[in-house]
Amino acid sequence: MARLQHLGLVALAAGLLSACPGEDPNAVPDSGSLPFLSVDLGEDKSQIFPLIGRWYPLAEIKRLTDRSLTAQEWCKRPPTHLQIKVDEAIVQCDEGPELVASIGGVRTSTSDGALILDLRVPRDYPVQKLMVQVQGPRAVVRGSPCDGQRETVYQRFPQYELLTREVLGNNVCAQVLEGRPR
């Protein structure tokens, strides 16, 4: 028993001698892990959340809310719009195919506070990046090939689904254009 007490005292003395001055001898030793370093690259993809959804140019909203449009006129072309998802942007112009691009990064412009969506596309793709500056229910969009890369006012258009059902009578445009019965 005396031998165990002696070994306990030796272990305590060794622990006290090995401790750095000013440290608690009962503290758990450092595991040797490196501290977490956060590097701010000026990008925060969470900034995209207020932009998620469909945005329509004001001229397109005016066209689609015209109550005199027939189903055939409504379906002549898909509505011009910009749809932003968490990981991709979709641009549909008056003419041409839908342009889909992955979002590579989101950053804030230093001059006007607009969000810049850098797209992962080849160099010759019609849209390289989109700059969106939200102003309440509207947004000023630059970089869209639909507008010749110039600044255009877009807006949300929640009535689109309701008007689509009203004008088309729950039919999709392809059915109306092909003359299929409703």
Express each pLDDT in 82-97 by its tens digit: 999 999 999 999 999 9
pTM, entire model: 0.69
DSSP at 98: P
Q: Evaluate whether residue 52 is within a structural domain.
A: yes
Q: Do the beta carbons of residue 129 and residue 143 sit within 8 Å?
A: yes
Q: What is the pLDDT of residues 116-164, one digit of tens each?
A: 999 999 999 999 999 999 988 899 999 999 988 889 999 999 888 888 8
CA distance 76 to 78: 7
Which residue blocks in the chain are alpha helix, DSSP H? 2-18, 58-64, 71-74, 160-168, 173-177
Give a yes or no: residue 54 inside a domain: yes
Residue 62 within a domain:
yes
For every residue of 124-165, DSSP letters joined together read TSS-SEEEEEEETTEEEEES-GGGTTS-EEEE--TTHHHHHH
Residue 12 lies in a domain: no
Is residue 69 one of the residues assigned to a domain? yes
> What's the chain's length in residues?
182
Q: Which CA distances in Å does 174 have to 71, 77, 98, 121, 159?
A: 11, 10, 16, 30, 21
User: Please, are residues 59 and 90 in contact by the beta-carbon 8 Å criterion?
Assistant: no
- Quick one: which H or E segment has residue 101? strand 99-108
Q: Which residues pair with 82 in a beta bridge?
A: 55, 91
Tokens of 67: 């109550």
Work out how many domains the chain is built from and give that number: 1
| Distance set, CA 19 to CA 8, 15, 30, 43, 72 (Å) | 17, 6, 12, 43, 85
Helix, strand, coil proportions of the chain in percent (round to 5)?
30, 25, 45
**Is residue 91 within 8 Å of residue 145, measured between CB atoms?**
yes
Give the residue-averaged pLDDT of 68-77: 88
- Answer yes or no: is 94 within a domain: yes
Distance between CA atoms of residues 176 and 42, nearest Å: 48
Query: Which region among 21-25, 166-170, 171-175 has the lowest average model confidence (pLDDT)?
Result: 21-25
Is 155 part of any domain? Answer: yes
Q: Is the pLDDT of residue 55 over 80?
A: yes
Domain membership of residue 117 (yes or no) is: yes
Provide the residue range defining the domain that includes 125. 45-177
